[in-house]
Amino acid sequence: MIRIATAECFTHGLVGKEIHALSRGYPLDFGWRPDPALPCVSLVAALFIPTLSGVHHILGIRPVPPFEVIDDIKVYDQQGDEMMALKMAEAVREITQADIGIGTTAGIGKGGIAVVTTEIKLLTTSGIDADLRSSPAGRILERQAHGVKKTLHTLECLLMNRIPPECGEDFLRLD
């Protein structure tokens, strides 16, 4: 059984919800139809952490300095989102002793999505550009939905040993 933990911002805990549904045989949302050969997974924790204080107090890490802060909500540019998603994924994996940690955050740009183990670090984006401060709600929700799908796709690639570029060209492997 592979244990997974998430620390999510722009995906609002929906990645964790989908992983839990998969592990329990519940119906899946977001059009995810995982490979039937996918190994058994278990969700250790799914955290929704949009704030700086949450990142600091719950994950116990020093956040990347944000581009802007709105009511304690961290707003990063693209580079900051990617760095912070990676930090969040690593922290939640370590805290929970999960096999895989997932981190997501999006402010200005396409967001950052990180899926990490002790050996592999995959980084990608939602593919949808938006600005948390000024984009219409529909655009923000479109980025969120794409982010959930992209995160699940990245996780499935990792679980099936189809590491990029086999799974797509828009991944960055950091290990």
Q: List pLDDT tens digits, range 75-130.
A: 999 999 999 999 999 999 999 999 999 999 999 999 999 999 999 999 999 999 99
Q: What is residue 68's predicted lDDT score, i.e. its pLDDT?
A: 96
In angstroms, the first-to-last Cα distance of the chain is: 23
Say how many domains are in the chain.
1
pTM: 0.95
Residue 157 parent element (H or E):
helix 137-159
Half-sphere exposure of residue 5: CA atoms within 13 angstroms, side-chain side:
20
Percent over 90 (pLDDT), the chain: 87
- Show Cβ contacts of residue 156 under 8 Å, excluding neighbours closer than 6 positions: 34, 35, 38
CATH number of the domain at 91, please.
3.90.950.20
Q: Which two tokens stand for residue 111?
A: 């967001």
Do 79 and 107 contact (CB within 8 A), yes or no?
no
Where in the sequence is the domain holding 95, given as residue range(s)?
2-173
Q: What is the mean pLDDT of the chain?
A: 94
